[in-house]
Amino acid sequence: MSQTMKLCPLLGNYYVIGVISLVLILGSLNVKEAECRVVYGMDNIQYPAINCRKHSAVLTDFGGVGDGKTSNTMAFRSAISKLSQCASDGGAQLDESEWPQLPVLPSYGRGRDAAAGRFSSLIFGTNLADVVITGQNGTIDGQGSYWWDKFHKNQLNLTRPYTIEIMYSDQIQISNLTLVNSPSCNIIIQGLTILAPVDSPNTDGIDPDSCTNTRIEDSFIVSGDDCIAVKSGWDEYGIKFGMPTQHLVIRRITCISPDSAMIALGSEMSGGIQDVRAEDLTAINTESAVRVKTAVGRGAYVKDIFVKGLNLNTMKYVFWMTGSYGSHPDPNFDPKALPNITGINYRDVVAKNVTYSAKLEGTTNDPFTGICISNVSIQVSEQQKKLQWNCTDVAGVTSGVTPTTCPLLPEKGKFDCPFPTDKLPIEDVQLKTCSFI
Ligand SMILES: *[C@@H]1O[C@H](CO)[C@@H](O)[C@H](O)[C@H]1NC(C)=O
Ligand SMILES: *[C@@H]1O[C@H](CO)[C@@H](O)[C@H](O)[C@H]1NC(C)=O
Ligand SMILES: *[C@@H]1O[C@H](CO)[C@@H](O)[C@H](O)[C@H]1NC(C)=O
Ligand SMILES: *[C@@H]1O[C@H](CO)[C@@H](O)[C@H](O)[C@H]1NC(C)=O
Ligand SMILES: *[C@@H]1O[C@H](CO)[C@@H](O)[C@H](O)[C@H]1NC(C)=O
Ligand SMILES: *[C@@H]1O[C@H](CO)[C@@H](O)[C@H](O)[C@H]1NC(C)=O
Ligand SMILES: *[C@@H]1O[C@H](CO)[C@@H](O)[C@H](O)[C@H]1NC(C)=O
């Protein structure tokens, strides 16, 4: 067993293309030449990208073998080193012994699984601009079972790697890939299918963490943890680092996650989370929909969250907020650092086979305010619990919601909760159609 990237039968070769920037293309094509070379105007294969590329390299020409066993580290290294002569960036590492270690993120202060540090992610990049990772629906198998096993046996002294991790970067496009069995999570964007066993530990689907201007759309995620987890650092480390996640668009996502949320905001949100627009989402057999998770010591805020158009089937909670999530990096968090949770808007929700309509629990002496819920129809399951809306330390208003809400969220006549009508810059980014041989 090795942690090499497994190239599934779906996928023939692994392509690395780049000019000033790097593109990884996963597809099933046949190319004879190796090395970095100019792509002529041949157009039998097309792919959408932020910008088109002039040079390409093919991993199999560097000795890459897609059998799920062979270490492709040297092949990646040679391909990328070759490409670096015409492209100035890139990297990918495999076997655990060859797996580089990274210091902890400054905004987290420690690793999530283990304090000492963390493994580099399978596909990792930092300070990049204009990167495209795409694959005609090819598959990257993160072979996470190796890591989940170590996690369960408590044998990890560093935090598990992600399948894809991009830090401090701009203009990143990840599209049309199937990511399976990620050791822990993946990040960013469009047309992804992400499959992890629903009992695998902390396998968030997509985690935008201290990201500005992110668009996640048209993806299908099956996960053992939150399908999308929006984060921005942990307690005193996140407060000090101070980088929010903001201007995030999430749309047309389908999620299956029996023990977690479709979208979690937090619990690590100490750099703040604001201006999130989530629309046209489907969840099936999922614990909750768009959940706020925070705790004393987190500081910062979650505000201006807009959710519209949820189609939910088989849920434990339709609405769930938790102000006492706990989970601290160390005992040095500031008990006076109370998070400000305000302006959380939901509208147009249809839910079937629901156990509890809502469990809304703010932080004691720090209520969650400005909650707005309108046009919601919840069909509770036969084993319906008596207290459908359990609300503590929250304030807000509702309109057209069944079953009847709690006294802290009174019905205030007929209105729609707000959803922005302006467009974020990221919504206007169009992909060009590129071709290569
Ligand atoms: C992509 O692949 C996954 C599984 O490999 C499949 O379920 C999905 O339908 C595929 N999507 C497209 C658009 O072909
Ligand atoms: C981590 O664990 C490995 C064995 O699992 C051991 O060889 C290594 O020394 C440990 N590293 C640290 C920093 O404890
Ligand atoms: C994803 O695949 C679909 C179907 O093959 C294609 O229409 C679309 O342009 C692709 N998008 C990207 C960003 O690669
Ligand atoms: C929370 O944020 C809102 C909006 O930015 C602001 O109006 C309010 O005063 C803040 N509340 C606290 C307790 O800081
Ligand atoms: C209420 O929500 C349903 C389901 O999302 C939607 O079809 C309908 O148009 C909404 N009604 C109003 C008045 O917005
Ligand atoms: C309803 O939800 C329960 C779990 O609460 C599940 O076991 C059952 O299969 C669901 N029924 C339908 C018709 O989806
Ligand atoms: C309602 O929520 C509070 C706070 O989380 C909890 O202590 C209480 O047990 C819940 N009540 C019921 C009836 O579930």
User: What is the tens place of the pLDDT at every residue in 214-254?
Assistant: 888 888 888 778 889 898 888 998 898 888 888 899 999 99
Ligand 4 atom 8, closest CA = 340
Mutate-to-test residue for ligand 5 from 282, 310, 375, highest number of ligand atoms within 8 A of CB: 375
What is the structure's pLDDT at 425?
76
- Give the global pTM: 0.75
Which ligand 4 atom is nearest residue 366's CA?
A: 13
Q: Rounded to 5 degrees, what are φ and ψ at 310?
A: -110, 135
Q: Are strands 193-195 and 55-58 parallel, antiparallel or unpaired?
A: unpaired
Residue 411 DSSP one-character state: B
Which residues lie across from 216 on neighbouring strands?
A: 250
Report the share of the chain in percent with pLDDT over 90: 38
| Whole-number Å distance between alpha carbons of 297 and 239 | 9
Q: Is the dihedral of CA 173, 178, 184, 185 positive or negative?
A: positive
Q: Helix, strand, coil shares of the chain as percentages rounded to 5? A: 10, 45, 45
Asked if pLDDT for residue 6 goes beyond 60, the answer is no
* pLDDT tens-digit readout, 250-289: 999 999 999 999 999 999 999 999 999 999 999 999 999 9
| Residue that wins the pLDDT comparison between 313 and 92 | 313
User: What does the pLDDT look like over 369-402, one tens digit per residue?
Assistant: 999 999 999 999 976 667 899 999 999 999 999 9
Nearest residue to 403 (alpha-carbon basis) of 387, 419, 391, 383: 387
| Residues 49-57, mean pLDDT to the nearest whole number | 65
- Classified as helix, coil or strand, 44 is coil
Q: Residue 356: pLDDT above 80?
A: yes
> Nearest CA to 303 among 349, 403, 370, 402?
370
pLDDT digits (tens, 9 = 90+) for 90-132: 322 226 444 555 656 656 665 555 566 666 666 776 766 666 7
Catalytic machinery residues: 225
Mean local confidence (pLDDT), 73-93 = 61
Q: What pLDDT, in 10s, does the model give residues 328-339?
A: 988 999 999 999
Please name the residue whose Cα sits nearest to atom 13 of ligand 7. 387
257, 285, 313, 314, best to mutate for ligand 6 pocket (most atoms within 8 Å of CB): 314
User: Can you tell me which residue has the tokens 């069944």?
Assistant: 402
Say which residue, 64 or 109, is predicted with more confidence.
64
